[in-house]
Amino acid sequence: MISVLVVDDQAMVREGFSALLDAQDDIRVVGDAGDGISAVRAAAELEPDVILMDVRMPGMDGLEAARRIMEEREETRVIMLTTFDLDEYVYDAIGAGASGFLLKDAPGSSLVEAVRVVAAGEALLAPSVTRRLLSDLARRRVQARPGALDEITDREKEVMVEVARGLSNSEISEALFISEQTVKTHMSHILTKLGLRDRAQVVMVAYESGLV
């Protein structure tokens, strides 16, 4: 059972998301919070598997809350939610350790799937974010680490490119004509060699390094 904490400053949004997720057989909403400070406290008390975190909230925003939660509990996965398709917070959200980034107007099925994907240890970015916004942010805020990719093999670089395109493990398997287990092995090596947390940070490094 996937435990979820819902964080948003609008009560109707919290109630709507909670009702949608609680209706799933494999997901249970364990609590909610209306601001960043309350989210940090609730995360420490409830220890949820996944947190749906609104980006813009009064007081402590979702980014700062995510950073603090990640510092205390790395195993918790955070999905950042925003109303704005051109929200430049996405770059900082990934940097803060978020594993997912979705728009609030996404279909309910997308939200449910995002929770499952992130809980399974993968990352999920809204397609518009992966293919357009993140690319634009990376071009304007390049912070490539010298030699970051020296230990990465050519095949692992190919996998990184496909991850940056927003493909899942099964889609990468089909694109590169390798087994899904081999994709997972490559991803494990990439994360270890680069010292990264998850796929979202792989996307960031792929853009920052100029690989994509």
What average pLDDT values come out for the chain (212 residues) when binned by 10 residues? Answer: 95 94 96 95 95 89 89 87 64 73 83 89 64 52 60 93 84 92 92 81 80 78
pLDDT score for 169: 85
pLDDT score for 142: 42
CATH code of the domain containing 18: 3.40.50.2300
Calpha distance 45→19 (Å, rounded):
22
CA angle 53, 101, 93 (to 5 degrees): 70
pLDDT score for 179: 93
Q: What single letter denotes the amino acid at residue 49?
A: D
Joined together, the tokens standing for residue 167 give 């493909």
Domain boundary pick from 137, 158, 176: 137
Same domain, 91 and 185: no
pLDDT score for 72: 86
CA neighbours within 13 Å on the CB side: how many for 49?
17
Q: Quote the pTM value.
A: 0.66
Domain enclosing residue 86, as ranges: 2-137
pLDDT score for 128: 54
Alpha helices (H) in the chain, listed in sequence order: 11-22, 36-46, 62-72, 89-95, 108-119, 127-128, 134-140, 154-164, 169-176, 180-194, 199-208
Domain boundary pick from 122, 137, 152: 137
pLDDT score for 91: 65
Total domains present in the chain? 2
Same domain, 124 and 148: no
pLDDT score for 104: 81
